[in-house]
Structure formats: C-alpha cells, structure tokens
Copies of this chain bind each other. A is one copy, B any other.
Amino acid sequence: MDNNTIFIEKLRSSGLRPTKQRIKICKLLFNRKKTFHFTISDIFKILKKQTYEKISLATIYNTVHSFKEKGYLKEISVDREKSYFDTNTSNHHHFLDVNTNELIDLKNEDVHNIKIKKRIPGKKINSIEVLVKIENSN
C-alpha cells in the first residue's frame, strides 16, 4: 500500500474528498519522520518549486484550515507576524529560537511539574502551554 492510498483513506475517513491538491499537501506535511512546523507561506514556497501544476494560494489556505479542523494539525501562535502549524497534535510545549525564528518541540516529560495555584471561579483549565524562548548563548 503506497502513501497515496494511505492519505486517500485518511482524507475520506474524515469526510474530505481526496483531491490531488489535498493528497499533495498531505505528502508534503506528513511524509516526515520529525514533527514539521510551518507557516502557510512556507508551504506555498515549497509547492511552487516542486510542482508543475501549481496549487493556488486559496487552496493552500483552505486545505490547511480543513486539516486543522479535522485534527491533523495544531496551530501555534508565538508572535503576531507568524502563525505556525504543527504536525504534532499531541499536547506538548515549544522552544522558540529567537535568533532563527525556529520552533522546536519539547516533549511533555521535558517540562515537569507545572502547577497552577490560582483558579478563576466558574472557569476550568483547558490547556497549559509553555513557550521557552532561547537565544545564542555566546
């Protein structure tokens, strides 16, 4: 069973028609060993180089957003200018390298003992996200 078949099934099982654009974007995002952190414009640039038949920017937006809705991707907001998406949708934290603007995953076990002592009446905790900014150490 090749990749295409896997992605076609993945798409179909979540109610998305397996179009060639979606399959191409699936391959780009999910045929990776490591977690992939990207912006929409990263995807646009990569596809522009790779492909003879280009995928329109609108389709990239549509696809990334439907992948997010379907839970294939997680959106991470580290600064106003850049919206990152993450292929690792599990609950985890991040390093942000302020020199390179690169995001790096932190496993949950790499951050321990987060206890929030304060509570807001009538509210419950939904998620806890830690962003560790790092920079060159010299």
Contacts and interface: CB of A to CB of B under 8 A. Distances in A.
B106 A111 contact: no
Interface of A: 75, 77-80, 83, 95, 97-98, 104, 106-107, 109-118, 120, 122-138
Contacts of A77: 77-80
**Copies of this subunit:** 2
A115 B124 contact: no
A43 to B, nearest CB: 16
Given A127-B133, A131-B131, A111 B116 contact: yes
A61 B78 CA distance: 21
B123 A112 contact: no
A117 B109 contact: yes
Nearest to A124: B137
Given A106-B116, A110-B117, A132 B125 contact: yes
Contact of A134 (B112, B124, B132, B135): B124
B112 A112 contact: no
- Those 10 A-B pairs whose CB atoms lie nearest each other, nearest first: A124-B137, A113-B113, A80-B83, A110-B118, A126-B133, A123-B134, A127-B133, A77-B79, A110-B117, A129-B131
A110 B114 CA distance: 10
